[in-house]
Structure 1
Amino acid sequence: MMEKINIFLKDITESGGGERVCINLANAFSKKYEVEIFSFYKSFEQPAYELYKNIKISYLSNQNFYHANKIKKIFLKTFYRYFLSLLIILKFKNAKNEILLANDGYFLPFFKNKKLKYFRIWHIKAPKKKKKIFDYFDTLIILSAKELDKWQEWHKNIQVIPNFLPFASSKTSNLSQKVVLSAGRMDKGDQKGFLRLIDIWEIIQKDENFKEWKLHIIGDGLLKEEILHKIQAKKLEHSIILLPFNKNIEKEYLKASIYVMTSHFEGFGMVLAESASYTIPSIAFDINTGPSDIIDNKKSGFLIEDGNLQEFANKLKILMQDESLREKFGKNAKEKVQKEFSKEVIMKKWNKIASF
């Protein structure tokens, strides 16, 4: 029987999907196990999301990854990461009956204590080929069964466990406000596809029927300036509102009538499940994993061929002009996520693999 779960990640103080999943898991595990979070870096003073008081946080360094320059980031992601991994290995060399859960790629257990179990969550799509680091872990947890066959070729113990909704909100959007919402970290690589979302919104705004609608984009990151410049260049400042990340995102969901995801890739797409919990219908590109696990096409939202901006805009217009369809899709969306992604359903799967 495992007695303690140790969770490792890059930076618990950053506001991203992986960090939120980590904290949700830690809070859920803490009802049954002793839980400690090990954060490789510390860019801000406090964790980005609410953490239960019985969970200990250990910062392995006070290095600020978020504001580091390019050369320093290379150092932190290579040599320094290996050094910190070695410190962790030494710390746990005599431990037993504990799980070491890597929430991202920063902890590398290249030497293992056989009395411990080593898990790794893989938040994004499967890589093109097997990585050596897979062999460091006893179990790999993936978020979608869509690439299960590929994963099983690379590792003998693959578990499919989606992310869960951390709360069951009784509140719902009335779906009558002329607001489209999108949220996510604004990384340099534009994983969330905010730049192409602006192109889609430009198509929308050429139609006089939708001039009163607003697009709210929530997020922070190194790409934010480029996003702002593109909005200004296309003269869309009047209809696109950039909002900073804040812990109380519920109020933004309650203002929205449609949620849009334009990501180039996702592991799961937690914001789609969250928006569905407020009865908000969604539109997303049908990328390899993520949206199709959550959206039932033409039942709770629309899935669009990846890269087809015009079709995305067309389907968005359909929802924008039809409140009754939004209500129908939103009701179906909420029912699906409550049935498949509730904390109770997902934690049964986690407790099963943690209790061996």
Structure 2
Amino acid sequence: MAPLLYKPNIKIIGQSHESYEASKNSQRYKRILRYYRQVSKFLLLTEKDAEKFKKDGFTNTGVMYNPTAFRVYNDPQKLYANKTVVSMGRLVDGKGFDVLIKAFARVSHEIPGWKLDIYGDGPEKESLQTLIDVLNMKNVIHLKGTTSKPQEVLSSSSFFVLASEAEGLPMSLIEAQSCGLPCISTDCAPGIREIINEYEDGLIAPVGDVDVLARHIRRLAKNEQLFYSYSQNAYRHSEKFEQKHIRNQWYKLFEELEER
């Protein structure tokens, strides 16, 4: 790429699909400093990450969200009637599924009829199943394995919970919102608050806080009217991640670079 950086007839767009902190704490950061300060546009996944790179002397930063693969409206009443809390991701350390299981178990007796379905596979599957068994939750908490039909799974659920320790711009939250699901998430990434509008379409808990996560789950499961409001807002707010919207932003960027 280096020979192309200073050719006036070539525009280069660089992208980073990780958080500023992840870049800064890795060997990649030296290469980002060397090359990405020179490109025509350096795109990040969140506004906060773009601001942090600006403070490091980058004058070419911008933001481009990843688009959702689907967006479908679901009636909030039907979603609520599913009485299913859902989560998805690799079953690995740091994804917080143990925290989610403990939180759901803590309030399960207060929300009878509700269940928790976790989709994904990974090395922590056995230990998570052991935790479910120890908490005597095997009838209401299920490890469902992987799925090739996330849209169908989400549309058959009620609300989504992400309990990770660290993320970038979690597509799982974006996809859940795109199906009208309210979302609960730990405050695990700069991008969380660019997806969830707290107390409008979802709720946010501190990382690793079982108590707060449990309270949020109970609140959404028990308050039907609040659920309806959050569901409608979630679907409306998901428009900014729609493929057509993101595509138009790319076209706008191409026009901007061409004018230069």
Provide TM-score, normalisation by structure 2: 0.83
Q: Is the 8 A contact 1:125 1:266 kept in 2?
A: no
**Separation in 2 of the partners of 1:291 and 1:149?**
16
Partner residue of 2:235 out of 306, 310, 334: 334
TM alignment of 1:16-35, pairs within 5 A: none
Q: Is the 8 A contact 2:73 2:235 kept in 1?
A: no
2:86 maps to which residue?
A: 181
Q: Is the 8 A contact 1:126 1:151 kept in 2?
A: no
Check 1:133–1:230 CA distance in 2 against 1; reply closer, same or farther (3 A cut): farther
2:15 maps to which residue?
A: 120
Give the CA deviation at 1:219. 0.8
In structure 2, give the amino acid aligned to 1:140.
Answer: F
Work out the percentage of aligned pairs sharing the same amino acid: 25
**Separation in 1 of the partners of 2:168 and 2:57?**
18
TM alignment of 1:258-337, pairs within 5 A: 258-337=159-238
More helix by share: 2
1:214 maps to which residue?
A: 115
**Separation in 1 of the partners of 2:189 and 2:147?**
29
Alignment pair present for 1:198 and 2:96: no
**Separation in 2 of the partners of 1:112 and 1:121?**
21
In structure 2, give the amino acid aligned to 1:240.
Answer: I
Structure of higher RCO (CA pairs closer than 8 Å, 6+ residues apart) = 2
Give the CA deviation at 1:214. 0.8
Q: Gapped runs of 5+ residues in structure 2?
A: none
**Separation in 1 of the partners of 2:167 and 2:195?**
12
In structure 2, give the amino acid aligned to 1:183.
Answer: M
**Separation in 2 of the partners of 1:118 and 1:299?**
34
1:21 maps to which residue?
A: none
Give the CA deviation at 1:319. 1.0
Give the CA deviation at 1:118. 5.7
In structure 1, give the amino acid aligned to 2:45.
Answer: L
In structure 1, give the amino acid aligned to 2:31.
Answer: I
Alignment pair present for 1:158 and 2:58: no
2:150 maps to which residue?
A: 249
Give the CA deviation at 1:129. 5.3
Q: Is the 8 A contact 1:286 1:305 kept in 2?
A: yes
SS in 2 for 1:335: helix
Alignment pair present for 1:145 and 2:40: no
Give the CA deviation at 1:308. 2.4
1:136 maps to which residue?
A: 35
Partner residue of 1:223 out of 116, 121, 124: 124
SS in 2 for 1:122: coil
Give the CA deviation at 1:244. 2.0
**Separation in 2 of the partners of 1:210 and 1:223?**
27
Q: Is the 8 A contact 1:260 1:282 kept in 2?
A: yes
1:43 maps to which residue?
A: none
1:351 maps to which residue?
A: 251
**Separation in 1 of the partners of 2:44 and 2:90?**
21
TM alignment of 1:85-104, pairs within 5 A: none
SS in 2 for 1:126: helix
Q: Gapped runs of 5+ residues in structure 1?
A: 1-108
SS in 2 for 1:268: coil
Check 1:257–1:337 CA distance in 2 against 1; reply closer, same or farther (3 A cut): same
How many correspondences in the alignment? 242
Q: Is the 8 A contact 2:82 2:156 kept in 1?
A: yes
Deviations 1:254-307 (A, max 9, x none): 221111111112211222222122221111112341221111111111122333
RMSD between superposed Cα atoms in Å = 2.3
